[in-house]
Structure 1
Amino acid sequence: MTGFDLAELLAERGAERYELHSRYLNHQLPRMLHTIGFDKAYERAEGAYFWDREGRDYLDMLAGFGVMGLGRHHPVVRQALHDVLDAQLPDLTRFDCQPLPGLLAERLLGHAPHLDRVFFGNSGTEAVETALKFARYATGRPRVLYCTHAFHGLTTGSLSVNGETGFRDGFAPLLPDTAIEMGDLAALERELRRGDVAAFVVEPVQGKGVHPTPPGFLRAAQEALHRHKALLIADEVQTGLGRTGDFFAYQHEDGVEPDLVCVAKALSGGYVPVGATLGKDWIFKKVYSSMDRVLVHSASFGANAQAMAAGLAVLAVMADEKLVANARHTGELLRSRLAGLIDRYELLHDVRGRGLMIGIEFGRPTSLGLRSRWTMLQAARKGLFAQMVVVPLLQRHRILTQVSGDHLEVIKLIPPLIIGEREVDRFMAAFTAVMDDAHNGGGLMWHFGRTLARQALSVR
C-alpha cells in the first residue's frame, strides 16, 4: 500500500479548487465563473441533481454537455466498473482480442443494422476524426462538406469542419473543407459536381442553437451524395443514444442510412471517456486492406476494458429503464409547455428541438420599455439576454442550464434522460418566474444585464 489517500487529499485541499485552476489550468474559466456567479462548490451528485456544501439541491439541465445521459453515478454503471476492475483483465496488450470491444460493437450495431463495424476511440472529436480519415481514404477524395454553425470537435481535423469562426480563429491552416447552409441542397449539389468531395458531415440536430435538419434534407442529401460517390457522416456525439427520442437522431427521417455514424458522450456513462465510429463493411475493409495496414488507424486507450464495460452497462440501462421512450415523452411534455408560453412573453420567440434536446430562443420585444433594454444589451454583445436568464435560474432557483453558443440568444436544455414530470414542473416554475421578472422590469435582473453589457464593451 502507498501513502496516497484520495479522501484525505480532497479534505485538505478541496477548498482551493478555484485557486488551483487559476494557477495551473485555464485561468479564464474561474474568471468567467466568478463573473456570472456560477462559482459554486458542488460537493455531491446523483441522478439529475447536485448538492452544495450547505446541502441544497440543484437540478441539472445540462448533463455535462450531454455526457450524463443516465444521470450521475448510476448504480449499474458503477457496479460494472467495479466488476471489470476486480476481474483484473489483461487489458491493452495490443496483441490479443479481448471480448468486451466485440460485445459492445455488436450491441451498438444492433441499433444501426445497416452498419457493420466499429472503431473505438476516446472522445467525440476522435470519432469525427476517424470518420473524416476513413471517408477520405475510402473515396480517394480530399474534401469534406459541413454546415455553417456546426460543431464537430476541436482537434485540427474536426475543427476543419467546425462552422463557428470563434473556435477556428488563429488555428489555421486547417484542412480544405467547405461549409454550406444546412438545408441548402443546391449548394450541396454544386459542391458535389466538382468531383473532389469525400463526404458530408452533419449533426441531425445542430448543438449550436438547437436546429434540427429540415424535413427531408438528410434523405435528399444522402441520395445526392451517393449519386456522386460520396459518403454521409452523421455526427451523433450529442444527439445519439436516445437524446432526441430515437436511439439515433437520423432515425427520425425514413430511409436515412448514413455511411458512418459518430457517437461518444452518453456512451461513457459519465465515467470513462469513450468514442465510437460505426461504419459500413466496405469502408473498414478499404482502410484496413492488408495486414501491413492493421495499425494504420488506432488509439492507445481505445477499446479499453473500463470504457467497454461502461458502454455495455449504459446500453443495458437504456433498455431496462426505457430511456429512449422517456426522452421522447418527457421531451414533448417540456417542449409543449414551453411553447405554450410564447404568446405570454414577448421576449420569448421560439421553442424547438427533439426529445430532451430543446432550444429556447429569445428575440426583440415589441413594447417600448423592453425594447430599449433589449437594444442596450444587443449593442454590447448579442447573447447577453440569454445569459441574464441562465444566471437567475441557477442563483435563485438552483437549476443549471447553458447559453447555446457564442452570440446566440438561445438557452439549450439537454438534461439527463432519466428526468420526469417532477423535474419538468420544477423547471417550468423557475423559468416562468424568471420571465415574469424580466417582463415586469425586475431590477436585479436588468441590473445584472447592465453589468454584463459594461463588461462586454470593456473587452472590445
Structure 2
Amino acid sequence: MSSGTSGTFDLAAILAERRGEKYALNETYLNAQLVRVLKTLGYDVNFVRGEGPHLYDAAGRRYLDLLSGFGVFALGRNHPAVVAALHQVLDAQLPGLVQLDVSLLAGVLAEKLLAKMPGLERLFFCNSGTEAVEAAIKFARMATGKPRILYCNHAFHGLTTGALSLNGSELFRKGFGPLLPECVKVPFNDLPALEAALKQGAREGGVAAFIVEPIQGKGVYMPDDAYLAEAARLCRRHSVLFIADEIQTGLGRSGRFLACEHWNVEPDIVLLAKALSGGFVPVGAVAMKHWIFAKLFDRMDRALVHGSTFGKNDMAMAAGIATLETLDAEKLVEKADTTGKALMSELTALKDKYELLKDVRGKGLMIGLEFGPPSSLKPGGLKLKAAWHLLDTARRGLFCQMVLIPLLRDHQVLCQVSGDDNYIIKLLPTLTIDAADRRWIVEAFDDVIGDCHQIGGAVWDLGRSLAKHGLKNKAG
C-alpha cells in the first residue's frame, strides 16, 4: 500500500467540532420537515454510536433499536466480520469497477446467494432495493414481451418512478404522476381478484409479471396459508412471471432465508437488498431463472443493454459475502425463527391484559402490533373509547404515537408506526437480539400499553397534546 499522506481530512475532528450542529445543518440544507417531525415527537436524541442492536446517545444512554434501518442492520450495527471484510478490500487496493472487465467478488457473491435459492440461476447486482425493482420490471417485460405488471394494495416496492408505479399507497404516489402505464393494483390475499386481473390482462395485451411481498412491510400483513403458492400457480397458468420482493423479508428476517420458503413457493424472480449490505454499502440483487436473464442479454452487442455503474463494486460485494458467512456462522436465520416465536408469544400474552392491543402477527423477527378502539362495556370503557376517538378525529393512527413517544422517552426503545394512516407498530430488531433484549421489549410495551388504559394519566396528557396538534394541522 502506498505511503501517501491522508491530507487534511480528520473525521474525529469533524465529529467533535460540529456534532452540536447536526439538526441545524439538516434543517438548513436537507429535509427541514424531517427535523420538525423529530423535534415534535421528541426523537431528536442525537445518537452518536451504534453497536449490535443498540444505539448510544451523547450522554452514554443505551437504546434498543427496533427499526434497524428499516431492516438494513440484520447483523446489527458495525458487525466486526463486515468491518474486517471492508478493511481488507481497502487494504488490497483492488482494481474495482473496471467496466470492461468482470468482478471476481461479484461472481463469488452470486455463487453463494444462488446456492441458497434453488431454482434460480442468474443474478444482476445494483445499488438498492428500488433499483432492483426497476430492473425486475425491465427483465419481466423483455422476457415475456408483455407490458402489464400487477401489484398489491398496501405494497411498498420503492420510491423511484418505476417502483413508485407499483406502490399501493396514494400518500407516496400523489403529485408524481403520470407514472408508468400498464401497472394494475389488485387486493392482497385475494386469489379471485388476482385471477380476474390475469384474465383481463390477457385480453388487453398481456401481463408480464405479478410482484408481491411475501409479508407486506406496510402493516406486516400476512398471506393466507394457500395464497402465495396458489398465486404462483395462477401466474404460471397464464404465462406470467411471479416476482417475490424479499428486499425486507429476505436474508433470514422471517426465520427462513427467504420468506417464500414458509409457503413452499418457488418464484421466477427474487429481489434482495437491505440486509445484504451488512449495514454498510448499498447493494441490491435480482435473482432469476436463466431463461429470463438470457432474454435481455441475448447477444454480444446487447451485453451492456442494462447495467448499474456501481452495482458490482468491491466494497458492496465483500459486504454481501461477509453477511452471508456471518448468517451461517452465527446461525442467525435459525435464531430469528426461535427468538421471533418466543417474542411473539410474549407479546401475544399482552392481548389478554389490554383490550387496546388487537393483534400480534408476523414471522421471525418481523412483527406487527395492531391497536384498535376499546369496548365501551368494560369498566371505564366509555371514557377510554371517547379518548380514542378524540385522537382518531385529529388524525387516523395517532394513537400509535402515544405509544411510541414514551417507549423512546421512558424506555429507550426506538420503533415506528408501520405506514401512514394505520394503527400498526412494526418491530424489525436485529437478528442478533438476546433474551435480555427480548425482555426489554416486552416490559417496555407492557408498561406503556398499560398506561394507555389509564385515563387521566400522563400518557393521555400527551394524547391530548397530539390531538390538539393534529387538529391544528387539519385546520391549516
Q: TM-score, normalised by structure 1?
A: 0.99
- Cα distance between partner residues in 1 of 2:231 and 2:440: 40
What is the number of equivalent residue pairs in this alignment?
459
- Cα distance between partner residues in 2 of 1:420 and 1:129: 37
- Cα distance between partner residues in 1 of 2:65 and 2:244: 27
1:3-60 alpha-carbon deviations (Å, 9 max, x no partner): 1111111111111000000000011011000000100111111001111111110011
- Cα distance between partner residues in 2 of 1:36 and 1:444: 15
2:57 to 45, 52, 56: 52
Number of the residue aligned with 1:21: 26
1:361-393 alpha-carbon deviations (Å, 9 max, x no partner): 000101111100001011111111111101100
Give the deviation of 1:331 after TM superposition. Answer: 0.4
- 2:164 is the alignment partner of 1:159: yes
Give the deviation of 1:144 after TM superposition. Answer: 0.4
Number of the residue aligned with 1:270: 279
- 2:365 is the alignment partner of 1:356: yes
- 2:339 is the alignment partner of 1:334: no
Counterpart amino acid of 1:178? V
- Cα distance between partner residues in 1 of 2:103 and 2:343: 43
1:62-108 alpha-carbon deviations (Å, 9 max, x no partner): 11110000000000000000001111100001111121001000110
Structure 1 pair 313/442, CA: closer, same or farther in 2 (3 Å)?
A: farther
Counterpart amino acid of 1:219? A
- Cα distance between partner residues in 2 of 1:132 and 1:323: 31
- 2:338 is the alignment partner of 1:293: no
- 2:17 is the alignment partner of 1:3: no
2:219 to 193, 209, 213: 209
- 2:231 is the alignment partner of 1:221: yes
Counterpart amino acid of 2:188? M
1:416 to 430, 434, 438: 430
Number of the residue aligned with 2:378: none
Give the deviation of 1:443 after TM superposition. Answer: 2.5
Alignment of 1:289-438 (within 5 A): 289-366=298-375, 367-438=381-452
1:231 to 238, 241, 252: 241
Structure 1 pair 137/61, CA: closer, same or farther in 2 (3 Å)?
A: same
Number of the residue aligned with 2:255: 245
1:319-360 alpha-carbon deviations (Å, 9 max, x no partner): 000000100000001101111111210101000000000000
- Cα distance between partner residues in 2 of 1:173 and 1:44: 42
Number of the residue aligned with 1:126: 131
Number of the residue aligned with 2:198: 192
- 2:190 is the alignment partner of 1:180: no
- Cα distance between partner residues in 2 of 1:34 and 1:370: 28
Q: Alignment partner of 2:101: what SS?
A: coil
Q: Alignment partner of 1:276: what SS?
A: strand
Alignment of 1:12-91 (within 5 A): 12-91=17-96
Q: Alignment partner of 1:136: what SS?
A: helix
Q: Alignment partner of 1:382: what SS?
A: coil
Alignment of 1:141-156 (within 5 A): 141-156=146-161
Q: Alignment partner of 2:218: what SS?
A: coil
- Cα distance between partner residues in 1 of 2:96 and 2:458: 56
- Cα distance between partner residues in 2 of 1:391 and 1:200: 38
Counterpart amino acid of 1:208? K
User: Following TM superposition, where does structure 1 have runs of at least 4 consecutive aligned residues deviating by more than 4 angstroms?
Assistant: none
- Cα distance between partner residues in 1 of 2:164 and 2:331: 35
Counterpart amino acid of 1:405? G
Structure 2, unaligned runs of 5 or more: 376-380
Q: Alignment partner of 2:352: what SS?
A: coil
CA contact (8 A) 2:129 2:272 kept: yes
- Cα distance between partner residues in 1 of 2:100 and 2:340: 45
Give the deviation of 1:441 after TM superposition. Answer: 2.3
Number of the residue aligned with 2:118: 113
Q: Which moved more, 1:377-386 or 1:189-198?
A: 189-198
Number of the residue aligned with 1:282: 291
Give the deviation of 1:113 after TM superposition. Answer: 1.2
Structure 1 pair 123/442, CA: closer, same or farther in 2 (3 Å)?
A: farther
- Cα distance between partner residues in 2 of 1:455 and 1:129: 38
Counterpart amino acid of 2:392? Q
- 2:453 is the alignment partner of 1:439: yes
Q: Alignment partner of 1:406: what SS?
A: coil
Structure 1, unaligned runs of 5 or more: none
- Cα distance between partner residues in 1 of 2:21 and 2:232: 52
RMSD: 0.8
Q: TM-score, normalised by structure 2?
A: 0.95
Give the deviation of 1:442 after TM superposition. Answer: 5.3
- 2:476 is the alignment partner of 1:459: no
Counterpart amino acid of 1:305? D
Counterpart amino acid of 1:417? L
1:261-311 alpha-carbon deviations (Å, 9 max, x no partner): 000000001100000000000000000011111111100100100000000
Counterpart amino acid of 1:106? E
CA contact (8 A) 2:103 2:312 kept: no
Identity, % of aligned pairs?
55
